[in-house]
């Protein structure tokens, strides 16, 4: 039995944990949720996680949400839906979040302490941790990896660059982070991309090779088919119970669930609300997250696109009725809401979002047309049933107020990511901004602050940036929630995206899977996972 020390590490920070959010029921419109009362979304671990004495051996086959062709935390968004599960297996993380208690615990780290005013954090590393290439994971390795992360401009690189003024390494096992200003929730940064420490040898051959200190190492990759990771005997917590993790790519979420139910795979990442409900009603075990702004349509506000005009963005918002989207795309399930943080969230406030008002939409669009706008807009989305149905419903609502909408339905999630975040060749696109319950400041800064990455071209303003700055320094949860209310009010003015509702993200697994540990961004850690012998 491994003695990793994870269970005895002291918690550092806490946030309130979501209890549950009830799904609502509606009619058919082409997608059948099944008979009976909708399942409830009970956030966190679902089912038996222990399962008795661990067994060694076997391959865990996992249906990933999207193909991650490059397993580099410095060049991708680190989340369960975008390769985060496999990257956590390869690199591990300095800190992990416990969704049950809301606390942060050391993982690769041994300890993390703050000074009195939250402007300096001292990280102490575990002794004897090595990368899979045999080199030592010491303070210099951590500094090099994080500097590489920032230099490559990863998802939270701008946030780090603008808010961490120095990293000092007084000895081999100590890293001191000196912050530019008070930032009490800084430790959450070490649970995601910056906390995934990449070995120098990853870049040694001119082409990136994933080398980390995690429980598994990269073995093989076949495009559009699979990625295979193998167990590592030299892992700091002891050799994993599993021999391998095999990640397969299934674009259709219903097919992923069907394959899971037949036992041909042991785990799957699911985020279609209808498919998540089917899995929950079938009694699947798993780890469930509810992601605010998980189901949105981002608006490209860069010059030359309709969304550059704030009147057009606001008109789109007034034209949208989230309940219609969910009634058609996710009948019998889902949580339709255009609030940034709906009622289930600890960050929910009394500030209401803009209402559905097609008359106001028509008036704003009329003003924009009088100034030369032709009313044309392209809506980008995927071809899975929910995305296609959402796009068709949105087209109907926008055309109802006078827009001329062309649909661009791409074949894969990878194509969608390329058009939205790489090329920005879209007007409006189905997307997930994903402001998460655990330390939301980081994602808010990355996606909406003027000095953030702004990878999808959404609109932001000096007032919004100032509010996000204010959130960073807020010390208590009540102070942070008060800022969130002002963020909602400013969102109503800026309308960077069209909000349909939060997104359930479920890492589901079969009854013979045990020892999975949940963390931030809908990621799970598999270093203690094992398969029951049948």
Residues 307 and 283 in one domain: no
Residues 469 and 342 in one domain: yes
The CATH code of the domain that includes 87 is 3.40.190.10
Are residues 465 and 324 in contact, defined by beta-carbon separation less than 8 angstroms?
no
Among the three residues 151, 172, 200, which one is the final residue of a domain in this structure?
200
Among the three residues 154, 174, 200, which one is the final residue of a domain in this structure?
200
Residue 381 in domain = yes
Beta-bridge partners for 112: 123
Which of the residue ranges 312-321, 345-354, 438-447, 499-508 would you say has the lowest mean pLDDT?
438-447
pLDDT of residue 206: 83
pLDDT of residue 430: 95
- Kindly report the average pLDDT of the chain as a whole number: 89
Q: How many domains does the chain have?
A: 3
Banded pLDDT at 68 (limits 50, 70, 90): confident
Residues 373 and 495 in one domain: yes
The CATH code of the domain that includes 160 is 3.90.76.10
pLDDT (mean) for 7-18: 31
Residues 311 and 407 in one domain: yes
Beta-bridge partners for 105: 96
From residue 507, alpha-carbon distances to 43, 127, 488, 520 in Å are 12, 32, 30, 12
Residues 300 and 257 in one domain: no
Residues 181 and 229 in one domain: no
Can you tell me which residue has the tokens 């300096």?
A: 120
Residue 345 in domain = yes
Residue 28 in domain = no
Backbone angles phi, psi at 21, to 5 degrees: -135, 125
- Measured distance CA(127)–CA(132) in Å, rounded: 16
Digit-coded pLDDT (tens) for 427-482: 999 998 889 888 899 889 989 999 887 779 999 999 999 999 999 999 888 999 99
Residues 419 and 334 in one domain: yes
- The range of the structural domain enclosing residue 333 comes to 294-501
Residues 403 and 484 in one domain: yes
pLDDT of residue 48: 65
pLDDT of residue 241: 98
Digit-coded pLDDT (tens) for 248-286: 999 889 999 999 999 999 999 998 888 999 999 888 999
Task: Tell me whether strands 285-299 and 428-431 are parallel, antiparallel or unpaired.
Answer: antiparallel
Residue 4 in domain = no
From residue 1, alpha-carbon distances to 35, 49, 53, 240 in Å are 44, 16, 9, 10
- Measured distance CA(73)–CA(245) in Å, rounded: 19
Give the single-character DSSP code of 385.
H
The CATH code of the domain that includes 327 is 3.10.105.10
Residues 264 and 391 in one domain: no
Task: Give the global pTM.
Answer: 0.83
From residue 286, alpha-carbon distances to 54, 228, 333, 349, 410 in Å are 18, 22, 18, 29, 30
């Amino acid at each position: 039995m491994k003695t990793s020390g994870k269970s005895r590490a002291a918690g550092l920070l806490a946030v309130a944990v979501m209890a549950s959010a009830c799904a609502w029921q509606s009619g058919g419109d082409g997608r059948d949720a099944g008979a009976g009362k909708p399942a409830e979304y009970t956030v966190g671990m679902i089912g038996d996680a222990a399962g008795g004495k661990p067994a060694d051996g076997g391959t865990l086959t996992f249906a990933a949400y999207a193909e991650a062709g490059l397993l580099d935390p410095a060049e991708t968004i680190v989340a369960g839906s975008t390769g985060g599960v496999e990257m956590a297996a390869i690199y591990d993380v300095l800190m992990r979040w416990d969704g049950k208690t809301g606390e942060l615990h050391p993982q690769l780290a041994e300890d993390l302490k703050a000074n009195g005013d939250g402007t300096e954090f001292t990280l102490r590393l575990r002794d004897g941790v090595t990368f899979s290439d045999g080199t030592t994971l010491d303070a210099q390795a951590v500094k090099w990896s994080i500097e590489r992360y920032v230099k490559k401009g990863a998802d939270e690189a701008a946030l780090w660059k603008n808010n961490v003024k120095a990293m000092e390494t007084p000895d081999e096992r100590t890293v001191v982070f000196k912050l530019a200003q008070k930032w009490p929730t800084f430790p959450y940064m070490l649970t995601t991309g910056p906390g995934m420490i990449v070995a120098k040898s990853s870049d040694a051959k001119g082409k990136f090779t994933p080398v980390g200190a995690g429980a598994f190492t990269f073995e093989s990759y076949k495009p559009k088919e699979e990625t295979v990771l193998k167990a590592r005997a030299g892992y700091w917590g002891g050799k994993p119970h599993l021999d391998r993790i095999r990640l397969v790519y299934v674009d259709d979420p219903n097919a992923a669930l069907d394959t899971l139910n037949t036992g041909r795979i042991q785990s799957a990442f699911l985020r279609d609300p209808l498919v998540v409900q089917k899995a929950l009603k079938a009694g699947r075990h798993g780890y469930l997250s509810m992601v605010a702004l998980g189901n949105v349509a981002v608006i490209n506000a860069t010059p030359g696109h309709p969304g550059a005009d704030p009147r057009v963005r606001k008109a789109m918002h007034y034209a949208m009725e989230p309940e219609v989207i969910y009634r058609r795309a996710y009948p019998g399930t889902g949580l339709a809401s255009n609030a940034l943080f709906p009622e289930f969230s600890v960050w929910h406030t009394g500030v209401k979002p803009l209402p559905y008002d097609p008359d106001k939409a028509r008036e704003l669009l009329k003003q924009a047309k009088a100034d030369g706008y032709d009313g044309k807009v392209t809506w980008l989305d995927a071809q899975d049933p929910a995305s296609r149905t959402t796009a068709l419903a949105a087209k109907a609502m926008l055309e109802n107020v006078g827009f001329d909408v062309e649909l661009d339905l791409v074949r894969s999630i990878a194509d969608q990511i390329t058009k939205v975040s790489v090329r920005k060749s879209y007007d409006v696109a189905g997307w997930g901004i994903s402001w998460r319950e655990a330390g939301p400041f980081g994602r808010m800064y990355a996606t909406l602050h003027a000095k953030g990455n702004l990878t999808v071209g959404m609109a932001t303003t000096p007032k919004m940036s100032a509010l996000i700055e204010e959130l960073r320094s807020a010390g208590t949860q009540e102070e942070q929630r008060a800022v969130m209310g002002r963020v909602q009010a400013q969102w109503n003015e800026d309308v960077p995206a069209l909000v349909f509702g939060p997104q359930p993200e479920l890492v589901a697994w079969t009854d013979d899977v045990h020892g999975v540990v949940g963390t931030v961004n809908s990621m799970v850690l598999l270093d203690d996972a094992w398969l029951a012998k049948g």
